Amino acid sequence: MQRSNTYPTMAIIAAGFLLLTVMCGASAWAGKNQVKIGFALSMTGGAASYGSTQKNGAQLAVDEINAAAGSEGIKILAFFDDDASTPQQGINVFKKFINSDGVSAIIGPTLSDTAQVTDRIAQEQSVPVLGVSNTAKGITEIGNFIFRDSLTEAVVVPNTIRMAKEKLGIRKVAVMYGNDGAFTKAGYEAFKKALTDEGITILSEQTFAKGDRDFSPQLAQIKSQSPDAIVVSALVEEASGIVSQARQLGIPQSVHIIGGNGFNSPSLIKNAGDSAEGVIVGAAWNATASNPLNKKFVDAYTARFGSPPDQFAAQAYAGVQIVYAAVKKTEPPFKPSSIRDALTTVKDMDTVLGKFSFTPERDADYQPVFQQVKNGRFVIFGE
């Protein structure tokens, strides 16, 4: 009896061991066809208006890629986390991605202020980062693992000012900017240089801080100077207040309001209402672009999320595809260093942003657009 009981027990143990071995082998094999990517986006805090659509755009791209990959192709294992629009939380998220999740690449964070500290962590750990909304100067200079598909203010702003002078006859302006953020200060510096280069007179420079709600003192002074336009570098919350209060104070629509990248959110139109009509914004993307990939993206995004995408969704969507294209040029286990090397080879890639390449400095290279708020939406100027 004792012997007959032993053999079944041993058989069960052996079978269990064999099953465990097969399961582990299957898991390990599945891992060979997966690449881990972390997404650090501002889902709460001051930049949530941007981060929420970025998450939607990124998730749409991940789902489309994984569906197309089938059972044999490379799939993305996505880790989404909230950087809360603050550098400290961004640091926590990046450390978690790198040390706990073992990601091969990171997309984000949303704000340049955050990127200036988080990207240094990734650079030190040799993990590639693709910024999909960072436009301040100095981001890619952090190191050779740092990339971005967002056009810098130094690229978009000169085009905006040149077009404003040509199309609107702008000759004298007042400038407003947030003086406590890397993004808004970078925008101001780009605007000032572009205005100077175009020979446009700056009548005054007014500053404000993140979280300010009353802009009437600055706007009253600007009104008294009778500028052709008010040039503003601000995040969307402050931008909405400035636009609304400018019109409430009687600054007419004939005084154009020209915004930087922070204006590129539907929240501006939603928050400022009719006051947003006519606002001029330089941008990296517009929903009405005839690019077939862009039309497909806009339709799919709108169907899934119930509203059209914005520039931030488009850049996040394109960002996932750009990183994935680099991944496909590498071999399992998709080492971060291999993905970094592959990213440098991206050239003339068809994306929703148009033909996309990286510059030798790992910045984005594609054509900016000049757009205006018309009938409650962003359209290419003149359309």
Residues 299 and 317 in one domain: yes
Q: Which of 227, 260, 283 is the last residue of a domain?
A: 283
Number of domains in the chain: 2
Residues 61 and 161 in one domain: no
Calpha distance 130→147 (Å, rounded): 5
179-182 contacts, C-beta under 8 A, 24 or more apart:
179/207, 179/208, 179/209, 180/209, 180/210, 181/111, 181/112, 181/113, 181/210, 181/235, 182/111, 182/112, 182/113, 182/116, 182/136, 182/138
Q: Which of 245, 268, 283 is the last residue of a domain?
A: 283
The answer to whether the CB of 349 falls within 8 A of the CB of 325 is: yes
CA distances from 177 to 183, 189, 209, 324 (A): 10, 10, 8, 37
Residue 8 lies in a domain: no
Q: What residues pair up with 36 in beta bridges, in sequence order?
A: 77
Cβ-based burial of 44 (10 A; exposed 0-12, middle 13-18, buried ≥19)? middle
The answer to whether the CB of 195 falls within 8 A of the CB of 170 is: no
Strand, coil or helix: 128: coil
Calpha distance 354→97 (Å, rounded): 30
Residue 374 lies in a domain: no
Take residue 256 and report the two structure tokens written for it: 């154009």
Q: Could you list the pLDDT tens digit for every one of the 383 residues in the chain?
A: 333 444 344 443 344 433 333 333 333 333 579 999 999 999 999 999 999 999 999 999 999 999 999 988 999 999 999 999 999 999 999 999 999 999 999 999 999 999 999 999 999 999 999 999 999 989 999 999 999 999 998 899 999 999 999 999 999 999 999 999 888 999 999 999 999 999 999 999 999 999 999 999 999 999 999 999 999 999 999 999 999 999 999 999 999 999 999 999 999 999 999 999 999 999 999 998 888 999 999 999 999 999 999 999 999 999 999 999 999 999 999 999 999 999 999 999 999 999 999 999 999 999 999 999 999 999 999 76
The answer to whether the CB of 342 falls within 8 A of the CB of 327 is: yes
Could you tell me the pTM of the whole model?
0.85
Q: Which of 283, 308, 325 is the last residue of a domain?
A: 283
Residues 340 and 279 in one domain: no
Residues 89 and 112 in one domain: yes
Residue 382 lies in a domain: no
Is cis: bond before 333, omega within 30 of 0?
Answer: yes
Residue 380 lies in a domain: no
Calpha distance 146→338 (Å, rounded): 14
Query: What's the pLDDT at 335?
Result: 97
Residues 109 and 163 in one domain: no
Residue 26 lies in a domain: no
Residues 53 and 140 in one domain: yes
The answer to whether the CB of 104 falls within 8 A of the CB of 324 is: no
Residues 295 and 264 in one domain: no
Query: What's the pLDDT at 115?
Result: 98
Per-residue burial over 46-62, b if 16 or more Cβ lie within 10 Å, else e, is bbbbbbbbbbbbbbbbb
The answer to whether the CB of 291 falls within 8 A of the CB of 352 is: yes
* Residue ranges in 169-281 assigned as alpha helix (H): 182-197, 216-225, 236-248, 266-272
Calpha distance 195→192 (Å, rounded): 5
301-304 contacts, C-beta under 8 A, 24 or more apart:
301/56, 301/57, 301/60, 304/56, 304/60
Residues 134 and 101 in one domain: yes
210 contact partners, CB below 8 Å, separation of at least 6: 46, 178, 180, 181, 184, 235, 238
Residues 178 and 266 in one domain: yes
Residues 189 and 277 in one domain: yes
Residue 378 lies in a domain: no
CATH of the domain at 187: 3.40.50.2300
Number of other residues whose CB lies within 10 A of the CB of residue 160: 27
Number of other residues whose CB lies within 10 A of the CB of residue 125: 14
CA distances from 229 to 55, 63, 257, 282, 376 (A): 34, 43, 6, 14, 20
Residues 100 and 57 in one domain: yes
Q: Give me the residue label for tokens 């060979």.
A: 32
Q: What residues pair up with 147 in beta bridges, in sequence order?
A: 130
Residue 373 lies in a domain: no
Closest CA to 332 of 30, 100, 22, 78: 30
Residues 272 and 159 in one domain: yes
Boundaries of domain holding 324: 31-151+289-366
Residue 23 lies in a domain: no
